[in-house]
């Protein structure tokens, strides 16, 4: 089973992905984590993307596309991936379908966590105290939310058309969201 977890920054995608990884023996593919690693390791790519990420904007479709293929091609992860933070644009969504197709896989469900800007800001400021992320401050959080709003609609329409999209209220507690997501996954597992 391959899952896409979708939603604005601070929606709880990472938290819920970690729960799904354990419960269903999956592997989390967070493009944000992969990109942060590049910055941490001061690679050429890391230097190129740090100002974009700190401005709350999206890194190019080509860069993130290159990062995910390695994962999809790896037999150990076959049909066991949670895409966390990818795709974020329609081009990425189509690229993901092409790549999965190439490796004889598909997406089984798209989980969208809906949360308001107010909640996002509160969560991001809380998270700043626990994680050391240079893009977790109020003005970048607002910018990231706006970036999400601009590009998310076409992606959601795309998945809605293929009947893969499930919308979850991300304002409730972590455990309530866990339960709702588990129910949706059990239903498709049959």
Task: By CB under 6 A, name the binding residues for ligand AMP.
Answer: 9, 31-32, 35, 52-53, 56-59, 64, 85-86, 88, 92, 135, 144
Minimum distance of ligand AMP from residue 190's CB (angstroms): 30
Minimum distance of ligand AMP from residue 127's CB (angstroms): 10
Residue among 136 and 180 whose Cβ is closer to ligand AMP: 136
∠119-120-124 over CA atoms, to 5°? Answer: 120
Residue among 44 and 75 whose Cβ is closer to ligand AMP: 44
Minimum distance of ligand AMP from residue 86's CB (angstroms): 4
Minimum distance of ligand AMP from residue 186's CB (angstroms): 26
Minimum distance of ligand AMP from residue 58's CB (angstroms): 4
Residue among 56 and 170 whose Cβ is closer to ligand AMP: 56
Report the C-alpha gap between 50 and 27 in whole angstroms: 25
Residue among 37 and 179 whose Cβ is closer to ligand AMP: 37
What 149-153 contacts at long range (C-beta under 8 Å, 24+ apart), as own/partner pairs, is: 149/8, 151/58, 151/88, 151/89, 151/90, 152/6, 152/8, 152/88
Contacts of 6 (CB under 8 A, 6+ apart): 13, 110, 111, 112, 113, 152, 155, 156, 159
What residue is closest to ligand AMP based on CB?
32
∠149-154-158 over CA atoms, to 5°? Answer: 135
């Amino acid at each position: 089973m391959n899952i896409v977890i979708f939603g604005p920054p601070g929606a709880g995608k990472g938290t819920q992905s970690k729960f799904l990884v354990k419960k269903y023996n999956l592997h989390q593919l967070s493009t944000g984590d992969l990109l942060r690693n590049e910055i941490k390791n001061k690679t050429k790519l890391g230097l190129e993307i740090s100002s974009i990420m700190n401005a709350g904007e999206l890194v190019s479709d080509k860069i993130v596309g290159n990062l995910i293929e390695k994962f999809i091609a790896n037999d150990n992860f076959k049909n066991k991936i949670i895409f966390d933070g990818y795709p974020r644009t329609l081009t990425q969504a189509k690229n993901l379908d092409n790549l999965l197709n190439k490796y004889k896989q598909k997406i089984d469900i798209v989980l969208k966590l809906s949360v308001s800007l107010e909640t996002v800001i509160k969560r991001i400021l809380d998270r700043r105290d626990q994680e050391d992320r240079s893009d977790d401050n109020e003005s970048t959080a607002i910018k990231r939310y706006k970036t999400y709003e601009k590009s998310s609609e076409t992606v959601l329409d795309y998945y809605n058309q293929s009947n893969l999209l499930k919308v979850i209220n991300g304002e409730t507690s972590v455990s309530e969201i866990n339960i709702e997501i588990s129910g949706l996954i059990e239903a498709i597992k049959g």
